[in-house]
DNA sequence: TTAATCAGTACTAACGCGGTCCGAATTTGG
DNA sequence: CCAAATTCGGACCGCGTTAGTACTGATTAA
């Protein structure tokens, strides 16, 4: 059971690599592929998706490249993942809103919703700035509410 | 982004339906399919997998059927899901233990591990007995799980 | 103008998932 | 005791999504 698709994983890695550089760092897709040791074409694809979601901005032309659209501290992992894999949901029920025909007697849904929120909160609580540090013990005092959340 | 596969979702529904009956309730795969309005063959497949994992026990023969191997209160959702979808992990890193060649410079792994644990805790905090009740406001184990994501 | 880079589209291969089928084991009725 | 009915158990296969690639066009600095 893999929760994130490979592309979403790549997306986080690439975005983290962009956050490593200074705030205004601009890197080409090729340079990012080099740094992350990922296939160039795939990195380009991921970057395009992230640009479409407004997480990174692409500059065209000879001296072009990508950079983060916002400071790394306010971009949550949930955003990056949602940009690539779509909105998060545990089951088909949670995303495909027209309730399935089992909703009348299926007692599991409210519980799924609760777990769903737990996952969303966990993903929204970590930002790209946190990801940059190789140490897992980032500052735990920051309330999750202050971070941007994509859970509906 | 759907976290659970359809089969895992079905597994929880079927197991919950088994938990609805009395402790010693024994139901055939067909009866369970009838109750859950799911395809018979798929229910049978799910039950087989659950039996293999030791969550339910199957009795063969004319008066055969399935029943829970343990009381519903000690079977967590995490168990049921893991039985069908395999061990849980956010990324390829977490499950395929031979660390990828990026592990030397990829600083994301410890953070994934943290989020991973939050999800696992959330799933492990709900049992089949909880699922039977259609009310979501059961004892406060799950909020504790989400809180655990920001507090080490 | 030219070289370099992003942006978009289209395409192919492959893995996994969902679903279906047939054989093995066991109980019940005669 | 035998046979038939019923049920579980394991194997199989097609379909869809995903990952990855390639190509063409648009944009900009030198």
- By the CB < 8 Å criterion, does B36 face chain A? yes
Of the CA atoms within 13 Å of residue B95, those in its CB half-sphere come to 14
Q: List pLDDT tens digits, range B70-104.
A: 999 999 999 999 999 988 788 887 666 555 666 66
Return the beta strands (E) in A1-149 as ranges: 56-59, 65-68
Select the residue of A6, A122, A123 nearest B92 (Cβ to Cβ).
A6
The angle subtended at Cα A30 by Cα A25 and Cα A31, nearest 5°, is: 40
B30 C-beta less than 7 Å away from strand D: yes
Rounded (10°) angle between helices B77-85 and B6-20: 140
Return the beta strands (E) in A56-112 as ranges: 56-59, 65-68
Prediction pTM value:
0.85
Residue % of chain B over a pLDDT of 70: 78
Q: Round to a whole number and report the distance in Å from the CA of B29 to the C1' of D4.
A: 21
| Residues A124 and A147 sit within 8 Å (Cβ to Cβ) | yes
**Cα A78 vs. chain centroid, distance in angstroms?**
4
Give rounded-to-5 percent helix, strand, coil for chain B: 55, 10, 40
Which segments in chain A show pLDDT lower than 50? Answer: 97, 138-152
Nearest 10 degrees: Cα torsion A114, A150, B112, A33: 150
pLDDT band at B128 (very low <50, low <70, confident <90, very high): very high
Q: Round to a whole number and report the distance in Å from the CA of A48 to the C1' of C5.
A: 13
Q: Which nucleotide is nearest to A38 (CA to C1')?
A: D20
Give chain B's count of helices (H) and strands (E). 8, 2
> Which residue is associated with the tokens 């029943």?
B67
Q: How many CB atoms lie within 10 A of CB A5?
A: 16
Task: Give how far A126 is from chain B: nearest CA, Å.
Answer: 8
């Amino acid at each position: 059971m893999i929760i994130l698709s490979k592309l979403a994983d790549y997306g986080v890695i690439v975005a983290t690599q962009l956050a490593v550089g200074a705030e205004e760092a601009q890197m080409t897709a090729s340079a990012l592929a080099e740094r992350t040791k990922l296939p160039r074409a795939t990195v380009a694809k991921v970057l395009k998706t992230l640009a479409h979601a407004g997480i990174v901005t692409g500059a065209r032309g000879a001296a072009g490249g990508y950079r983060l659209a916002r400071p790394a501290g306010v971009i949550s992992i949930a955003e990056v993942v949602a940009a690539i894999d779509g909105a998060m949901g545990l089951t088909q029920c949670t995303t495909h809103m027209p309730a399935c025909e089992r909703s009348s007697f299926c007692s599991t849904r409210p519980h799924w919703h609760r777990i769903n929120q737990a996952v969303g909160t966990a993903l929204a609580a970590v930002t790209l700035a946190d990801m940059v540090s190789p140490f897992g013990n980032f500052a735990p005092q920051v309330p999750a509410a202050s971070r941007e959340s994509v859970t509906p």
